[in-house]
C-alpha cells in the first residue's frame, strides 16, 4: 500500500480493524490556499510587479476554491467512508475513536469483541 493511502486509512485485513483519519483530508485545500498566497507574495513583494487583472482573477478563484475544498472534502470523504464501511457490515468503535478540534480518528471494527479488545489496549 502506498504511503498516502496508509495515512488516510489504515487497516489490519486479518483483524477487521480500519482506522479513518478525517483530519488528513483538510491538507489539499490548505496546501492549495498556501500556494496561491505564496505566489501572490512572491509576485508582488519579491518581483515587485503588480498583479494583472487576469492573474488576480485566477488567484482569487483558486483561493476561494481552496477554501471550499478545505471545508467540503473532509466531510465528503467521511460520508463516503462511513457508507462504504456500513455496507461492509463494519461498526464504529466509539471507545477507540476520538476527536480533537477538526482532527477526527474513526475506528471501524467488524464486531464488538474486537472493539472491546482495542479499548482495553488503550
93 neighbors 117 (Cβ within 8 angstroms):
no
* Backbone dihedral angles phi then psi of residue 2, each to the nearest 5 degrees: -75, 160
Specify the number of domains making up the chain: 1
The pLDDT tens digits of the residues spanning 26-71 come to: 999 999 999 999 999 999 999 999 999 999 999 999 999 999 999 9
Q: What pLDDT does residue 8 have?
A: 53
The Cα angle at residue 26 between residues 17 and 6, in degrees rounded to 5: 35
- C-alpha cell belonging to residue 30: 490548505
The Cα angle at residue 115 between residues 113 and 118, in degrees rounded to 5: 110
Range(s) of the domain holding residue 11: 3-121
**Helical axes 27-41 vs 53-87, angle rounded to 10°:** 170
- Select from 78, 81, 79, 68 the least CA-distant residue to 28: 68
H-helix or E-strand spanning residue 114: helix 112-121
Measure Cα distances from 116 to 20, 93, 107 in Å. Answer: 18, 8, 12
- pTM of the complete model: 0.74
The answer, yes or no, to whether residue 15 has pLDDT greater than 80, is: no
Q: What pLDDT does residue 100 have?
A: 87
- C-alpha cell belonging to residue 50: 503588480
The pLDDT tens digits of the residues spanning 90-120 come to: 999 998 898 888 788 999 998 888 888 888 8
The answer, yes or no, to whether residue 81 has pLDDT greater than 50, is: yes
CA distance 104 to 122: 17
Which pLDDT band holds residue 4 (cuts at 50, 70, 90)?
Answer: very low
Amino acid at each position: 500500500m502506498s504511503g498516502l493511502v496508509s495515512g488516510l486509512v489504515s487497516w489490519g485485513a486479518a483483524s477487521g480493524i480500519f482506522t479513518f483519519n478525517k483530519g488528513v483530508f483538510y491538507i489539499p485545500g490548505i496546501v492549495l490556499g498556501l500556494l496561491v498566497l505564496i505566489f501572490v507574495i512572491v509576485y508582488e513583494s519579491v518581483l515587485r510587479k503588480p498583479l494583472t487583472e487576469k492573474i488576480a482573477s485566477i488567484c482569487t478563484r483558486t483561493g476561494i476554491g481552496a477554501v471550499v475544498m478545505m471545508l467540503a472534502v473532509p466531510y465528503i470523504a467521511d460520508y463516503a467512508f462511513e457508507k462504504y464501511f456500513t455496507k461492509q457490515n463494519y461498526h464504529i468503535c466509539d471507545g477507540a475513536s476520538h476527536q480533537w478540534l477538526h482532527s477526527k480518528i474513526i475506528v471501524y471494527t467488524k464486531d464488538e469483541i474486537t472493539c472491546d479488545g482495542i479499548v482495553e489496549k488503550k
